[in-house]
Amino acid sequence: MPLNKPGHPARPGLSLKGRALKYLAAREHSRVELVRKLGPHAESPEQVEQVLDELEQRGFLSAERFAESMVHRKAARYGTLRLKAELAQHQLPSDITQAVTRQLQDSELERARALWLRRFGQPPQSPEERAKQMRFLAGRGFSGDVIRRVIKDGIPDPST
C-alpha cells in the first residue's frame, strides 16, 4: 500500500463488497475462494456471507459461470479427472459438477490427443519413452483408457 504524503488524509480501504467486485471483475471466482480472500478483511464470517449472498442474488456471483470459466481456461491442458478434482475443491453443487464432467468426457480423447501432439508429436520409440508419455498424460488427469488410445493410435492420418 502506498504511503500517504504529509498533510494528506489516509485513504479508506475498499469495502468487502468493493473487494469482492474487484476480484470478480478480474475473473470468475467460486464462493469458497471469495470467503478465503475476503475473510482477513471482514469483522466476522457472517459479514462475508452477507456480502456474498447479496452478490449471488444480484447475479454477480454464479457457481455455473465459475465452473464454465474454469473449464474453459484449463480444459486444453488437463483431463477430466484433474478438472473434476479442482471443481470439488471449490465445493460446487453436485449437479453443476456432473454437468461439466459430462461435457469434459465427451471431448477428453480429442483434448488428450491435441496435448500429446503439442508435447511429443511422435509415437514413442522405446518402452521408456512410452512410459514417459503415459505418465505425462496421467499427471494431467486423463483416464487410463484415453491415454492408451492416444499412445496406441499415435498421430492421426490427415487423409481420413
Residue identified by cell 487423409 is 159
At 26, the pLDDT band (50, 70, 90 cuts) reads very high
Opening angle at CA 38, ends 61 and 24, nearest 5: 35
Q: Is the pLDDT of residue 9 over 60?
A: no
Question: What confidence tens digit (pLDDT) does each residue in 92-120 have?
Answer: 998 999 989 888 888 999 999 999 999 99
- 23: nearest Cα among 12, 5, 35, 13: 35
| % of the chain beyond a pLDDT of 70 | 88
CATH code of 16-61, in short, is 1.10.10
At 135, the pLDDT band (50, 70, 90 cuts) reads very high
